[in-house]
Structure 1
Amino acid sequence: MTSARTVLRWSAALTAASLLWSGGTAYAAGPEDNTTQPPADQPTGTTDGKGTLKASVSHIQIKYVSGGNGHGKQGNLGTVDPNWKPPACWYEPAFSPAALKDFVDSDGGGDVGIHEAWFGKELWTDHYKDGKPADNFDMNSPTNSSADGYKDYNLGKNGYFWRGVAPDAQDPDSWDCGRIMFWVPAGQIPNDPHTPTPKTLAEYAYNKVKVPETEVELKPEAKSTVNLPTWVWLDKGTFQEVKVRASLPNTGLWAETTAKPVSLHLEPGTDDATTYPASGDCKINDDGSIGTPYTKGSAEKTPPCGITYLHATDGAPYRLKASITWQITWQGSDGTNGNLPDGTFDTTQDMNVQEIQSVNR
């Protein structure tokens, strides 16, 4: 007979408080990601293929509607707002009644809540088969609230057991979703502050947006000349709108998050330089290009987007940083829409600067 064991999960900041409550073994949760689609009628919690239920793994599906096709080097956006972050936790469907019974019968174990795991069939059958109450794990309450038990996994009923998900269980805000897995009839969503909404999905998708690296065209290409402009540009089509769709199976909820490039910002890598425009912000043209390509005879003209270095490099090149700002908007399945903080992605390029006067050709 398999012994039953409750395991509590907590971040380092909350370990001392949690130790007052548990004689179980503690371990810290790390961030994980899984955007594969479960079967539409039988969502499964055995996301690691070994019968273990993980609160860090979401069933949210991610699809690139446009852009983000994997060509060339890409990376995730960083936000310009240091105070913004995506939701720390939410609830989502995990099991149908039949899928939960199969999971328990296979001696599956894992996270019944974000910070509580059950290993051993008895813990699961007591609550979800035999109707015995169990405690939620309410870190922000003086005492844990009690959850009513279920009879025979609710077999014959139409609906799903919902469970908390936290991409990073080390985040203190993940303790806000303290309920253990609970029942919701089909076609309904829970009446809970942490029920997912289209905006939740839009914010989740923000971190999934992939954009191309920002390697700009230069003239001269690798070696500039003191007091002569270096022209900077990007051809049209290099940076295009990226649209990511996030949907949550068995809820009807979805959102599309769109990242649109709006400007290029240049940082020469030294204070001894002049940028064009003076702000270093080059707007994206109507055709999607940035700046103007250098043409023969333009060496001494002022470029619409570029840099003039005032001193030569001495052994080590300047590190030219080029950052694209992306405007982020979203729209959801219920007609809601809005803006999210702008995102940025930057790359650096070596710039050698010579003293001699020469004309770009």
Structure 2
Amino acid sequence: MRTTAKAGALLLATALALGFSSTAAHAIGDKNNQNPPGPSGGADNNMLNAGVGKTNIKVSQVSGGKGGSSGKGLGSVDPNWKPPACWYEPAATSEQVKAATDQLKKTPNENLVPVTPSLSWGEQLMVDTFEKGKSPGDGIKSYKNFNLGKDGKFWRGVVNPDMEGDPAAYECEEILFWQDAGIIPKIANAPTPKVLASYAYDKIKVPDTKVELKPEGKSTVNLPTWVWLDKGTFEDVKVRAELPGTGLWAETTAKPVSLHLEPGTADATTFPASAECKVNDDGSIGTPYTKGSSKEDPPCGISYLRATGGDPYQLKASITWEIAWKGSGGTGGDLPDGTFDGTQDIDVQEIQSINR
């Protein structure tokens, strides 16, 4: 079973030649799908509203992440790492495909049915392929009477919305195909626990990175500014991803391991010199400032060498998170470390002295 880009274009051209509009599509799929941008729609007769290519993966944050940011997610430290661009998953029951085809028979010139993330078919192709068992060619499998009475579902490709436009997002173009219940298809881009773990990577919400500083508000030239994070502020974050109807699941865990400081100016000295403050055994980072420590070198901190001249320095603090996962079937492994940063204003004043 295969569908090349050339074959897909040919099939779409065939559908258009037969008089079917490409501006509307009857969507088919599970009820927890949602409508994405682009052609979509719905119908009666067990035709459920569903987004074309929208995933059914369920993601939940199991633990950690208090005060998690609703903005950008973790950024991978590996510039070559990418989440999965597309995969296949259950899309519709036999009854839903039949209902979609029956609706086409009522309005053949108005609607199409999405059979891949980028290709939709009209009445004749749907009837021939899924009802009459007549394959349109190019190795595409056909079915008699929509496989009614059999235990399983029709599967379709899904595109990761974060990867739209990536060439790899167009590698899941197999025409809507049948898979017996309880069996994962043995094809390229089939879902796996690692696919779910990688998908969950981008869904991890970690606490905003705002460090404690002493002195607060304004630092002094050549006097160290202490930087720390209290224990418990940055605990492990665990996210679970499940694909209903497949038995596949994965839990992706992010563990904070270090804090990296960027002073916002070259005129500064960092402590330690690497500017990398490791997480302590109790989960804290650095050491809180105590009275009388202003002239000591902090285990984690900055000493500014020049005063700010109006605009404050932008102190950037980045937390590095180690990412590991475990999943169904005893699977598991590591994913690239992730980073999440925050920026704080730092005003630096000259040392005040009195001349007598």
Smaller-chain TM-score range?
A: 0.7 to 0.9
Q: Which runs of 5+ in 1 are unaligned?
A: 1-9, 28-37, 136-144
Partner in structure 1 of residue 65 of structure 2: 68
Q: Which runs of 5+ in 2 are unaligned?
A: 43-48, 105-110
Gap change, CA 1:212 and 1:301, over 3 Å in 2: same
Write the distance in 2 (CA, Å) between the matches of 1:356 and 1:68. 40
Partner in structure 2 of residue 31 of structure 1: none
Question: In 2, are the aligned partners of 1:53 and 1:109 still within 8 Å (CA)?
Answer: no
Bigger strand share: 1
Partner in structure 2 of residue 223 of structure 1: 218
Q: 2:204 aligns with which of 203, 209, 213?
A: 209
Partner in structure 1 of residue 345 of structure 2: 350
Gap change, CA 1:217 and 1:62, over 3 Å in 2: same
Question: In 2, are the aligned partners of 1:56 and 1:169 still within 8 Å (CA)?
Answer: no
> Are positions 1:112 and 2:115 aligned together?
yes
Write the distance in 1 (CA, Å) between the matches of 2:317 and 2:326. 29
Partner in structure 1 of residue 300 of structure 2: 305
Partner in structure 2 of residue 279 of structure 1: 274
Residue identity (%)? 58
Partner in structure 1 of residue 41 of structure 2: 50
Q: What letter corresponds to residue 43 of structure 1 in structure 2?
A: D
SS across alignment from 1:147:
coil
Question: In 1, are the aligned partners of 2:141 and 2:177 still within 8 Å (CA)?
Answer: no
Partner in structure 2 of residue 159 of structure 1: 152
SS across alignment from 1:101:
helix
Write the distance in 1 (CA, Å) between the matches of 2:288 and 2:33. 54
1:296-329 deviation line (CA, Å, top 9, x unaligned): 1111011111000000011111110000000000
Q: Tell me by how many angstroms 1:121 deviates.
A: 4.0
For the aligned residues, what is the CA RMSD? 2.7
> Are positions 1:87 and 2:84 aligned together?
yes
Partner in structure 1 of residue 126 of structure 2: 124
Q: 1:326 aligns with which of 321, 324, 330?
A: 321
Q: Tell me by how many angstroms 1:153 deviates.
A: 1.1
SS across alignment from 1:98:
helix
1:1-43 deviation line (CA, Å, top 9, x unaligned): xxxxxxxxx9xxx9xx99788645889xxxxxxxxxx9xxx83
Aligned length: 321
Q: Tell me by how many angstroms 1:176 deviates.
A: 2.0
Write the distance in 2 (CA, Å) between the matches of 1:281 and 1:310. 20
Q: What letter corresponds to residue 148 of structure 1 in structure 2?
A: K
Write the distance in 2 (CA, Å) between the matches of 1:270 and 1:249. 50
Question: In 1, are the aligned partners of 2:261 and 2:270 still within 8 Å (CA)?
Answer: yes
Write the distance in 1 (CA, Å) between the matches of 2:186 and 2:288. 56
1:173-205 deviation line (CA, Å, top 9, x unaligned): 122222111001111111102111111111111
Write the distance in 1 (CA, Å) between the matches of 2:11 and 2:156. 22
Write the distance in 1 (CA, Å) between the matches of 2:265 and 2:214. 19
